[in-house]
Amino acid sequence: MSATSKKNSGPGYLKAAAKSGGNAAVLGASIVGCGIAAQMTGQPELLALIPCIEGVFLAIKSHLPGFRKTIDDRKKAELRQAHDERVRKELALLSPNQRAIYLELKSLTEKTLACYARLPSGGLLLASSETQLTGMLDVFLKLLNALNGYRRYLSATDRAQIEKELAVLRTEISGMTPEQELDPVNRIKARRVSLLEERLSKFDKAITGRELISHQLASIEDFLRLFHDQALTLRDPDMATMQIESLTQQLETTDETMRSLEGFSAVTEEFAALDPMESLPSIQVR
């Protein structure tokens, strides 16, 4: 299918038209009409017109602006419902303090958008900023849950005990002869040294990840508060456009942080199995 035909078919317009009641009515009428015509004229080939009639109907209806708007609105409603459900689930995993911070920032973004709506060309400004502000809040929420995961992992890992066991094992296997290295017990000890060293490495990565997330959370919070403060005094649409550009830059910076966290995927997989609803202390974002 060409790029043009893909664009014209849109997000399921043709499929939606085929499922519509109008298509069923046209199909039924064409079957009856063609059937009667074929019988009266003795030309059964007229039945071949049935799919042609349906095709013409689907092509016309799928391109009607009103029909497309209905489908677009329905798709947006479905996406919004799925988004809201995901947010509710992620909020339920947060501590009360974290949940309050998120809801406060959400309220600030709503007030910011209200300020934009009052400006000339406010509709255009809203269209270019609402999605980005929502995306920023979504990232903030994901980072909060990621931060909790790192903290659970670190609190469940006794680094001092690992270092103690590692030191003992290193002492026991140091200076072994080649014959002693082949001993089954010593081979297990050497393997344990490797495993404990890997655990320490994951611990260090988790510490780095936790600090990175903490600073990114603080940066997002500071930015959203500043964005709101600036919106309160906005009178010029050009200044609003500059604000939106700064929002785009902030999102790009946040994306870079998210990509850097991919290096800690091995750590996150390890603590992902931990119960997210276990008792946690009240967690400060900063």
At residue 271, the pLDDT reads 47
**Mean pLDDT score, 11-23:** 75
Residues 152, 267: contact at Cβ < 8 Å?
Answer: no
276 pLDDT more than 50 = no
How many alpha carbons fall within 13 Å on the CB side of residue 254? 26
The residue with greater pLDDT, 169 or 25, is 169
Give me the helices (H) in the chain, please.
3-9, 13-19, 21-41, 49-61, 65-92, 96-117, 122-155, 159-173, 178-181, 184-232, 237-261, 265-271
**Mean pLDDT score, 79-107:** 90
At residue 153, the pLDDT reads 86
At residue 125, the pLDDT reads 66
Q: Rounded distance, CA 159 to CA 164, Å? A: 9
**Mean pLDDT score, 114-125:** 72
At 266, the pLDDT band (50, 70, 90 cuts) reads very low
Q: Please tell me the pTM assigned to this model.
A: 0.66
Residue range 26-45, pLDDT digits in tens: 778 878 888 888 788 888 87
**Mean pLDDT score, 240-264:** 68
**Mean pLDDT score, 89-95:** 91
At 280, the pLDDT band (50, 70, 90 cuts) reads very low
Torsions phi, psi for 143 (to 5 deg)? -65, -35
The residue with greater pLDDT, 195 or 282, is 195
Residue range 201-237, pLDDT digits in tens: 888 888 888 898 898 899 889 888 888 888 887 766 6
At 286, the pLDDT band (50, 70, 90 cuts) reads very low
Look-up of token digits 């998210």: 258
Quote the tokens at residue 176: 């072994």
Residues 87, 68: contact at Cβ < 8 Å?
Answer: no
Residue range 60-76, pLDDT digits in tens: 777 778 777 777 778 87
Q: Rounded distance, CA 99 to CA 108, Å? A: 14
